[in-house]
Amino acid sequence: MQPIIHIRGLSKLYASGFQALKSIDLEIRRGEIFALLGPNGAGKTTLINIVCGIVNPTAGSVSADGHDILRDFRAARSLIGLVPQELATDMFETVWDTVSFSRGLYGKARNPAHIAKVLRDLSLEDKKDAKVMTLSGGMKRRVMIAKALSHEPRILFLDEPTAGVDVELRRSMWDMVRQLRAGGVTIILTTHYIEEAEEMADRIGVIHKGELILVESKTVLMRQLGRRRLTLHLQRPLARIPAGLAGEGLELAAEGHELIYTFDAASRETGITDLLRRLGEQGVDFKDLKTTESSLEEIFVGLVRARA
Amino acid sequence: MISTSLYFIVFGGAIGGRMTPIGGIPYGAFIVPGLIMLSILTESVSNASFGIYMPRFSGTIYEVLSAPISAVEIVLGYVGAAATKSMILGAIILATARLFVDFTIIHPLTMVAFLLLTSIAFSFFGFIVGIWADGWEKLSMVPLLIITPLTFLGGSFYSIGMLPPLWRRIALFNPIVYLLSGFRWSFYGSADVAASVSFGIALAFLALCMVLVAWIFRTGYRLKA
């Protein structure tokens, strides 16, 4: 299937001389949730802002569903909804008015039923006549999402959607994003919270100092880079690793109560059966065992550190 | 409207009665075009500059920039809104003035044309100010320190023919003199400079502002990085 967003050789050099993006190539697939990860100042927001028409690219091209974002900006932009990072809303308008205005701005005919549905989905129904300035931070964030959804975009950009949002609201936003995806909307989100990408994304791109250093599906990424750990809860604590088991990637934890075996989940021979057999031979009994995957955060920190 | 009434009570009623008519026009009637012009110039600049500065300041400009609308449409929206407001204001002042003094408009069509041209040109100018300003001081500085003094000095309340010769020559460098003069001509058929010259200068000013706005959108100056 043809990608919905096509980015070729995209660079951005700000007037200040800051090179925010260095020849980015990226394809976003139709209907996926794509998470863009990276430290502050990596270029995530610049990338989004170029696609949405807020920042001019220095070089390269971007197309949205086949429409060039510069030559054919009307068709390209009408497909895109944007929820920016900063809370910027018309303070003096009511929720209903500001959301309806957004729909009009995107050239869509009035549709009070749709606006009502968007507000209902975001639990803003009872606030529709309230002035934006009277709302809490979390509600303002939801108003901004409502504005972006008011014109029924096919592509939704969420720039740090859950920054400064409480856990409950974050959960409900994740649910909403999944619902949108189920409705065929392609979602690109940037985040600081690795947890968020891990929870939601189909694919993950890591951007660092203006370069896209990795684009991979989340599961592949976690399988390829992920180290699995087998933790054995021992019956009797060990003072040290038995001599016959040394040099096998074993370590002791929890004051000798746990034996941890780290292995590469991708390799064919994980060595677990061998390990368990030898543990039996050595007379080391365990009462429980569990395996854990390394989190995306560990992968991410490792990647960025390797580049630094 | 209140300030207009005050102007008429003070200048028209209190002082006007003791003033000799200017060019055969009673003083109270003479200042009507000047007052309208003064309000339109300051309001156009203030409204247009505030109109575009506010979303830049609050960040809501992102939505306008990312919407599927062209630069021409954006300008049409912001400048059109400010110019419309100025036109309505001009009409209100005109109606209010009629309550205080008696006057007739000899060239009503020209009058409307001048009103339109001035509102649009100075709304464009205000738009530029609103883009250029990077703080609230700069935003209020232009109407306060440039437009109002130039309008007062441009003959809102007197004919520049009443000035000493040297000052009259200096006054001719003030572009607002031409606007005021042309506008007054449309009311009473007499003016300091020819109406065609006035119209030409107003058009030139509008063209200059439009070129600047086109440049702003081409380069993204203070609007798009």
Report yes or no on A300 lying in a domain: no
Report yes or no on B88 lying in a domain: yes
Q: Who's near B152: CB < 8 A, 6+ residues apart?
A: B38
- Please tell me whether residues A96 and A159 are part of one structural domain: yes
The residue range of the domain holding A254 is: 227-293
Binning pLDDT at 50, 70 and 90, where does residue B164 land? confident
- Please tell me whether residues A249 and A161 are part of one structural domain: no
Quick: pLDDT tens for B39-51: 999 999 999 999 9
- Please tell me whether residues A275 and A153 are part of one structural domain: no
CA distances (Å), origin A111, targets A99, A104, B134: 11, 10, 38
Contact B62 A147 (CB under 8 A): no
CA distance, residue A260 to nearest chain B CA (Å): 51
Establish how many alpha carbons lie within 13 A of residue A198's alpha carbon, considering only the half-sphere containing its beta carbon: 15
The residue range of the domain holding B96 is: 2-18+25-219
pLDDT at site B99: 84
Binning pLDDT at 50, 70 and 90, where does residue B63 land? very high
Report yes or no on A256 lying in a domain: yes
Report yes or no on B225 lying in a domain: no
Residues in chain B, total: 225
CATH code of A282's domain: 3.30.70
Minimum-distance CB partner of A54 among B66, B68, B69: B66
Binning pLDDT at 50, 70 and 90, where does residue B55 land? very high
Is the pLDDT reported for residue B64 higher than 70? yes
Contact B225 A84 (CB under 8 A): no
Report yes or no on A180 lying in a domain: yes
- Please tell me whether residues A218 and A232 are part of one structural domain: no
Report yes or no on B107 lying in a domain: yes
Q: How many structural domains is chain A composed of?
A: 2
Report yes or no on A299 lying in a domain: no
pLDDT at site B6: 78
Sign for the CA dihedral angle at B185, B188, B190, B191 comes to negative
Once rounded to an integer, what is the mean pLDDT over residues B70-96? 94
Residue B169 contacts A where some CB pair is shorter than 8 Å: no
Report yes or no on A28 lying in a domain: yes
pLDDT at site B79: 97
Report yes or no on B130 lying in a domain: yes
Distance CA A149, CA A114 (A): 9
Distance CA B181, CA B171 (A): 12
pLDDT at site A221: 77
Quick: pLDDT tens for B105-163: 999 999 999 999 999 999 999 999 999 999 999 898 888 888 888 888 888 888 887 88
Is the pLDDT reported for residue B25 higher than 70? yes
Backbone torsion region of residue A31, taken as left when φ is above 0, otherwise alpha when ψ lies between -120 and 50, otherwise beta:
left
**pLDDT beneath 70: ranges in chain A:** 224-226, 246-248, 265-268, 294-297, 308
Binning pLDDT at 50, 70 and 90, where does residue B7 land? confident
Quick: pLDDT tens for B72-82: 999 999 999 99
CB B198 within 8 A of CB B113: no
Quick: pLDDT tens for A130-177: 999 999 888 898 999 999 999 999 999 999 887 777 888 888 888 889
CATH code of A127's domain: 3.40.50.300
Q: Which pTM does this prediction carry?
A: 0.83
- Please tell me whether residues A38 and A71 are part of one structural domain: yes
Report yes or no on A248 lying in a domain: yes
Is the pLDDT reported for residue B12 higher than 80? no
- Residue ending a domain, among A175, A195, A222, is A222
pLDDT at site A21: 95
pLDDT > 90: percent of chain B: 45
Report yes or no on B29 lying in a domain: yes
Once rounded to an integer, what is the mean pLDDT over residues B9-22? 72
Report yes or no on A307 lying in a domain: no
- Please tell me whether residues A161 and A263 are part of one structural domain: no
Distance CA A160, CA A163 (A): 6
- Selected for mutation to probe chain B from A105, A140, A147, A158 (highest B CB count within 10 Å) is A105
- Please tell me whether residues A267 and A283 are part of one structural domain: yes
Q: How many structural domains is chain B composed of?
A: 1
pLDDT at site A226: 62
pLDDT at site B1: 65
- Residue ending a domain, among A206, A222, A238, is A222
Residue B164 contacts A where some CB pair is shorter than 8 Å: no
- Please tell me whether residues A73 and A174 are part of one structural domain: yes
- Selected for mutation to probe chain B from A12, A54, A98, A106 (highest B CB count within 10 Å) is A54
Residue B66 contacts A where some CB pair is shorter than 8 Å: yes
Contact A106 B64 (CB under 8 A): no
- Please tell me whether residues A242 and A130 are part of one structural domain: no
